[in-house]
A and B are shown apart, each in its own frame.
Chain A
Amino acid sequence: MLKLRISDGLHMVARKVILCGLISLPLPLFATLGEDVSSVQSDQAHINAQLRILPSQSYSIHELRSPTGTTVREFVSPAGAVFGVTWRGPFSPDLRQLLGTHFEEYVQAVSAASNHSRGGIHVDTGDLVFESGGHMRFITGRAYLRSKMPSGVASDDLR
């Protein structure tokens, strides 16, 4: 299986160019929180993914559409680590794949939290922050790792 490589040359070109074309992809299709962006296992994802570089240059956003119609955005640090992920669409992405080694931490935190509040999920383990809301057939959520946030980036940027 081909691994993603974004060469320096492609980066230079990509600063000026938006690669278009969101396509439906076989799972798994997106990188895992906390890991290197090259953890995307399907090279098709990035050949056809829309790569958007923000003017601040302090991070890049890889936007993908899952086969179930949900838009996933991965926030990637200059060092190539996925420090945050957001998702919005009709169906939740597979959280085991999205959160990777942080999935168990998320499960523990949800189980430990009081379920008095029934509008959505809010967990904060100190490093992992996971929030989601919506209703059946619509989910909006985000997860990020405080330890991997580039300096100057606020959680509010993760949308």
Chain B
Amino acid sequence: MLPGCGGSKASNASSSSSPASGTNVQAITVNAGPTGNYANGLFTSVTVCAPGTSNCQTVSGVLVDTGSYGLRVLSSALKLSLPQQNDSGGNPVVECAQFVLGITWGPVKTAEIKLGGEQANSVPVEVIGDPAYSTVPAGCSGHGTPQQTLAALGANGILGVGSFIADCGSACAASGSGNPGFYYGCPTASSCQIIAEPVSQQVQNPVAFFAADNNGVMVQLPAVSASTASVSGSLVFGIGTQSNNSLGGAKVFKLDNFGNFTTTYKSKAYPGFLDTGSNAYFFLDSATTGITDCPSQENGFYCPSSPASVSATNTGANSTSSNVSFTVDNAATLFANATDSVFPTLAGPNAGAFDWGLPFFFGRNVFTAIETKSTPGGTGPFWAY
């Protein structure tokens, strides 16, 4: 499929990288997305089929997210009927998926997912905002604001290809107060109760289900020297499984139990993570960094009066270490050009953590290895770059 393109300015040097080719390659693009106003949004098209049939639909404008796990599609974007997952009591399973920005509420269905030349059979997926389940339980909205629409999400779906397999894990497979409440059984749409959901039934990273090239992904995006309308790249499946996904000189950073490494900034250590689903460098706060917050209309970004240079060191649980430097520009100035959607120098605060969002991925091959999967660089979870 062709990535969506806007014009690019003649004055900047950004371009498409020579794309990886092969059956394990999925085209991805950074652009304004299906709402036309997303900043640093990494999008792709996903083909979804009813299992064992040729009833398929290609959904465009799906966010590529190395910070989450599993495929979610807006009900409003999905015209395909998929089989409903039921719990052991025969009740439909409906999910309250918990993200930082909020929650997504919708039924768990089973789908066949095709990406590049790969296929994942019978994978649980979440259908967000299904009108049959319009009541969000109070316990669910207590974990975040429901994000049920294109306007709220900025995308037609989320393709979570991060380092975990299941979106919740063993905590959701247990009964009692240790269950964080992602999965509900709904005998009726307004009588949903939290259930213990076996891990194999949870919404999961489709890459782990591929027949091959299933141990992780590589995100390949070109270097971007200045803001521009769009850039194209590749999501390559597998690590060290084909000639186009070798680690090469990339350093391996093993992750802790939360899927983080450590980022040290001005001699203090913080949890750090790489995340294509975050649309800027998000780190710390104005007091710690000395970088001014933007006024309220650009709430959540930094607005330095002149470009700020930032340097920090990432260290894996295996003690691999590397220093990363980048520049932060004034977000209000960046956004003033309405034709730009790609911002390599966009940053904002994030109390207590270092979120290496999409700009980190420009000009690097970044690998995410899935937990328990073996690769030439060791067993996941790890990042390598």
Interface residues in chain A, defined as those with a beta carbon under 8 Å from any beta carbon in chain B: 24-27, 67-69, 86, 88-92, 94-97, 107, 110-111, 113-122, 131-142, 154-156, 159
Contacts and interface: CB of A to CB of B under 8 A. Distances in A.
A117 B352 contact: no
A2 to B, nearest CB: 19
Contact of B168 (A107, A115, A134, A137): A137
B259 to A, nearest CB: 6
Interface string B231-272: 000000000000000000000000000111000000000010
Contact of A133 (B100, B258, B279): B100
Q: Which of B152, B167, B259 has the most CB of A within 10 A?
A: B259
Given A94-B143, A117-B300, A155-B287, A136 B99 contact: yes
Nearest to A98: B142
A115 B144 contact: no
A137 B178 contact: no
B98 interface: yes
Given A68-B178, A96-B142, A110-B145, A119 B357 contact: yes
A114 B300 contact: yes
B198 interface: no
B299 A133 contact: no
Contact of A136 (B167, B352, B357): B167
Given A24-B177, A107-B145, A69 B171 contact: yes
Nearest to B279: A118
How would you classify the secondary structure of chain B's contact residues: helix, strand, loop or mixed? loop
Contacts of B116: none
Interface stretch (B79-87, B343-351, B372-380): B343-351
Contacts of A27: 177
Contact of B352 (A97, A118, A122, A159): A159
Contacts of B351: 120, 131-133, 140-142
Contacts of A118: 101, 154, 277-279
Q: Which of B69, B145, B154, B352 has the most CB of A within 10 A?
A: B352
Contacts of B278: 118-119, 135
A129 to B, nearest CB: 9
A122 B180 contact: no
Contacts of A94: 139, 142-143
Given A110-B145, A119-B355, A122-B349, A134 B100 contact: yes
A137 B297 CA distance: 30
Q: Which of B138, B180, B287, B357 has the most CB of A within 10 A?
A: B180
B3 interface: no
Interface in B272-299: 273, 275, 277-280, 282, 285, 287-288, 297-299
Interface residues of B, number: 59
B282 A116 contact: no
A91 B301 contact: no
A159 B39 CA distance: 30
Contacts of B348: 117, 119, 122
Contact of A135 (B102, B162, B178, B301): B162
Contacts of A135: 67-68, 100, 162, 259, 273, 275, 277-278, 355
B179 interface: yes
Contacts of A156: 285, 287-288
Contacts of B282: 117, 119-120, 133
B352 A88 contact: yes
A67 B174 CA distance: 11
B102 to A, nearest CB: 8
Contacts of A141: 351-352
A133 B160 contact: no
Q: Which of A25, A89, A133 has the most CB of B within 10 A?
A: A133
B145 A111 contact: yes
Contacts of A136: 67-69, 97-100, 160, 162, 164, 167
Nearest to B99: A136
Contacts of B99: 136
B19 interface: no
B199 to A, nearest CB: 13
* The 4 A-B residue pairs with the shortest CB-CB distance in the complex, in nearest-first order: A117-B300, A119-B282, A135-B67, A91-B180
Interface in B46-100: 67-69, 97-100
Contacts of B279: 117-119
A108 to B, nearest CB: 10
